[in-house]
Amino acid sequence: MSAAESRTFEIVKDVVLTAHKSCTTAEKIDFYNIWARTYEQDQAVLDYRGPSMAAKAISTHFTGNRQAAVVLDVACGTGLVSDLLKKNGFRHFVGVDASEAMMQRAIESGLYDDLKLAVLGEKPLPVQSDHFDVVVIVGALSVGHIDVKVIRELCQAAKQGGLICMTTRGNLDNASYKADLEDQIKQLEEEGLWRCVEVREEKEWERAVRAYEEGYIRGCVYVYEKL
């Protein structure tokens, strides 16, 4: 049995809880560099549905030419979201991530036209403004990861009429972050930068890992159109 095949829920739960103990940006990056080797297998064990929910939302609402569209996959990891979007007809992807090991896995996937190493929130998003047909970020908008203000840069990266798809968790640990995120989303809406296309709450986002949680935690998908 390979190391990946032996990944049990208890093992994966301990890994995820370790991530929550990482406080500094450098510690977070180190964690993801180590996790890259078993990341996809572990997400399968967690039954993590964020990537599939985001891909479904984008595929539902995107009305342009999918083969010509350029997708910016922010915090792309190993390429889970782009892989699903490719299966739904999209062909051109640019990825951004802070972990070199995750990026190496993304390179090996062969999905991306371009990949950029960047720590979100510390420096500007290293992509062209008003350029992308779709901008997607899955998993990174949560407590302990990146500041909610980063979503303004996501909006800037999209072209007029482009879709911006964001996700966050809906469990107790992430409640304050989720509230701040939604305040920031509303701020950009009030500024006339984008309009709401869909906000979808999902009851079964991923398997719960905290001792006081049972079953699955909730999650949320936000889809906005740049004006």
How high is the pLDDT of residue 203? 95
The band of 2, judged by pLDDT with boundaries at 50, 70 and 90, is very low
Q: Is the pTM of this model over 0.85?
A: yes
Domain membership of residue 19 (yes or no) is no
How high is the pLDDT of residue 41? 94
Domain membership of residue 14 (yes or no) is no
Domain membership of residue 39 (yes or no) is no
Give residue 96's region: left, alpha or beta (phi > 0; psi -120 to 50).
beta
- Tell me the residue ranges of DSSP E strands in the chain: 70-74, 92-97, 114-117, 132-137, 158-169, 194-207, 216-226
Most confident of 19-23, 120-124, 140-144, 150-154: 150-154
Chain CA centroid to CA 224, Å:
15
Comparing 212 with 179, the larger pLDDT belongs to: 179
Residue ranges making up the domain that contains 219: 47-226
CB burial class (10 A; 0-12, 13-18, 19+) of residue 73? buried
Check which CATH number belongs to the domain holding 148 and give it: 3.40.50.150
Domain membership of residue 23 (yes or no) is no
Domain membership of residue 37 (yes or no) is no
Domain membership of residue 167 (yes or no) is yes
217 closest CA partner among 13, 11, 31: 13
How high is the pLDDT of residue 106? 97
* Percent of the chain's residues with pLDDT above 70: 96
Least confident span in 12-26, 70-84, 112-126, 149-163: 12-26
Domain membership of residue 132 (yes or no) is yes
How high is the pLDDT of residue 187? 98
How high is the pLDDT of residue 3? 47
Amino acid at 32: Y
- Sequence-distant (6+) residues with CB within 8 A of 2 are none
The band of 5, judged by pLDDT with boundaries at 50, 70 and 90, is low
What's the mean per-residue pLDDT of the chain?
A: 94
Domain membership of residue 40 (yes or no) is no
Domain count, the chain: 1
Q: Is the pLDDT of residue 116 over 90?
A: yes
How high is the pLDDT of residue 132? 98
Q: Is the pLDDT of residue 221 over 90?
A: yes
Rounded to whole angstroms, the Cα distance separating 93 from 83 reads 10
How high is the pLDDT of residue 1? 38
Q: What is the pLDDT of residues 178-198, one digit of tens each?
A: 999 999 999 999 999 999 999
How high is the pLDDT of residue 23? 74
Rounded to whole angstroms, the Cα distance separating 197 from 94 reads 23
Q: Is the pLDDT of residue 224 over 80?
A: yes
